[in-house]
Structure 1
Amino acid sequence: MIAAPKYGFVVLAVPKSGSTALEAAFAKHAQLVTSGPHSLKHVGVQGFERDIAPLLDEHGYPRTGYEVAALVRDPVSWMSSWWRYRSRPGIVGTATYTGEMSFDEFVGRVSTGEIDLPSQSSYVTGPDGAPGVDRLYRYEDLDDFLAWLHECLGPKKARKSQLKQRNVSPERQHEVSAATRDLVEEVYAADVALHRDVATGRLTGR
């Protein structure tokens, strides 16, 4: 998570949505960055509102003074990125290694709960299941998201905040069968609906 309330934004780090690259580009402007353990780096909107927003308020940044934003990704692309990331050589022999597993097998194991991958929607929705962030962008519309962040920072700081690829998953070629796509869309139905319904820019009805 990158909290830059001084410049009007907080970016939640939804896993496998470019969060490491965003942190590298924008952390220099932040008043607070949560890295390290997954529970800190990838804090969801409910945890943010409960634990971090009050902390920022104590230090002079009221919740009304900034917007909370996040990126969400097509669920099939998101799962493919997880599958490829877990095939990196550095984790060979660990329980999470997927280098000897086909994408179809990976999806199958996720669908049965053998592999636990919390949904993207769980990071950006409130207790009522509705989006709890102020802005939600599709990962495919990253340029629009960056344009908004640069607008928040202003031209001078924006020029020093260019995105570079970080934490890139290994290349692995694979086909996505219709059956596998159907299974992904069944397991992550809420993510499919969220990604489909996102209109780039400000969410209404927060």
Structure 2
Amino acid sequence: MLVFWKENLVFLAVPKTGTTAIEGALAPKAAMVLRDPPTIKHAPIYRYRRFLKPLFVQAGGREPETMAVLRHPVDWLGSWYRYRGRPDLDGHPNSTKDISFDDFVLEYTKGKPAPFANVGSQAKFVCDGDGQIAVDHLFRYEDQDRLIAFLERRLNVTLDLPRLNVSPRRDTALSPAVEAKLRDRCAAEFAVWDQASGSS
């Protein structure tokens, strides 16, 4: 999470959406950089509203705007799948080394997935308790030009985002039947990505 106090903007770091590169580029500009623990670094909107927003409002007398980046659900799951297939997770319950991408996604669609597919929800990250998007500025990972233009304009910076924390290469082709099941059981994930326009 990055807090830009003068610019009245809080960047909420959705995991596996390029946040490490953004943090690396913008940390010098930020008033606060919350890196650890992960529950704070990757605090979703509901946790931010409960614990941090009241503090910021009290200190600054105004409510900071929030922003976040979402990745297409299939691509987002593919990134998690590749990330958890890295060698240092061999033998760990989170490892996807010997699991196909189809099986990973099928497990993800369950109410209580096994540890290797328990990667959270982008929809829950950016929505309130009623399922409504609660982040002010929501961008698609796939539309880097719009994201960068917003950050450059809002923060008065010039950005050249490097590729950091890149997951290992693996086959992430999803069969049509499994994708259909994902779209049916996790419709909210696709709905929030569809609504992420990067409006400024």
Q: Secondary structure at the match of 1:100?
A: coil
Aligned with residue 137 of structure 1, among 134, 139, 152? 139
Alignment correspondent of 1:165:
163
Q: Secondary structure at the match of 1:68?
A: strand
Compared CA separation, residues 188 and 37, structure 1 to 2 (3 A): farther
Structure 1 stretches lacking a partner, 5+ long: none
Q: Is the 8 Å Cα contact of residues 73 and 138 (structure 1) preserved in structure 2?
A: yes
In structure 2, what residue type is equivalent to 1:153?
L
Alignment correspondent of 2:130:
128
- Distance in 2, Cα, partners of 1:200 & 1:4: 18
Alignment correspondent of 2:99:
101
Render the CA deviation track for 1:128-182: whole Å, top value 9, x for unaligned.
211111111111112211111111121xxx23x4311111110112422101211
Q: Secondary structure at the match of 2:109?
A: helix
- Distance in 1, Cα, partners of 2:58 & 2:30: 16
Q: Is the 8 Å Cα contact of residues 17 and 71 (structure 2) preserved in structure 1?
A: yes
Alignment correspondent of 1:60:
60
Q: Is the 8 Å Cα contact of residues 72 and 120 (structure 1) preserved in structure 2?
A: yes
* Aligned ranges 1:49-88 → 2 under 5 Å: 49-60=49-60, 62-63=62-63, 66-88=64-86
Structure 2 stretches lacking a partner, 5+ long: none
In structure 1, what residue type is equivalent to 2:53?
A
- Distance in 2, Cα, partners of 1:141 & 1:80: 18
Q: Is the 8 Å Cα contact of residues 67 and 135 (structure 2) preserved in structure 1?
A: yes
In structure 2, what residue type is equivalent to 1:72?
L
In structure 1, what residue type is equivalent to 2:13?
A
Give the alignment's TM-score, normalised by structure 2. Answer: 0.91
Alignment correspondent of 2:43:
43
Report the CA distance between 1:198 and its aligned residue.
2.7
Report the CA distance between 1:90 and its aligned residue.
1.9
Alignment correspondent of 2:87:
89
Q: When the two structures are aligned, how many residues end up with a matched partner?
A: 196
Q: Secondary structure at the match of 2:119?
A: coil
Q: Is the 8 Å Cα contact of residues 139 and 147 (structure 2) preserved in structure 1?
A: yes
- Distance in 1, Cα, partners of 2:136 & 2:172: 36
Give the alignment's TM-score, normalised by structure 1. Answer: 0.88
Report the CA distance between 1:61 and its aligned residue.
5.9
Q: Secondary structure at the match of 2:69?
A: strand
In structure 2, what residue type is equivalent to 1:30?
A
- Distance in 2, Cα, partners of 1:193 & 1:164: 29
Alignment correspondent of 1:11:
11
Runs of 4+ aligned residues of structure 1 deviating over 4 Å after TM superposition are none
- Distance in 1, Cα, partners of 2:78 & 2:61: 38
RMSD of Structure 2 on Structure 1 (CA): 1.6
Q: Is the 8 Å Cα contact of residues 109 and 186 (structure 2) preserved in structure 1?
A: no
Report the CA distance between 1:191 and its aligned residue.
1.0
Compared CA separation, residues 53 and 100, structure 1 to 2 (3 A): same
Compared CA separation, residues 162 and 61, structure 1 to 2 (3 A): farther
In structure 1, what residue type is equivalent to 2:126?
V
The percent identity for this pair of structures is: 36
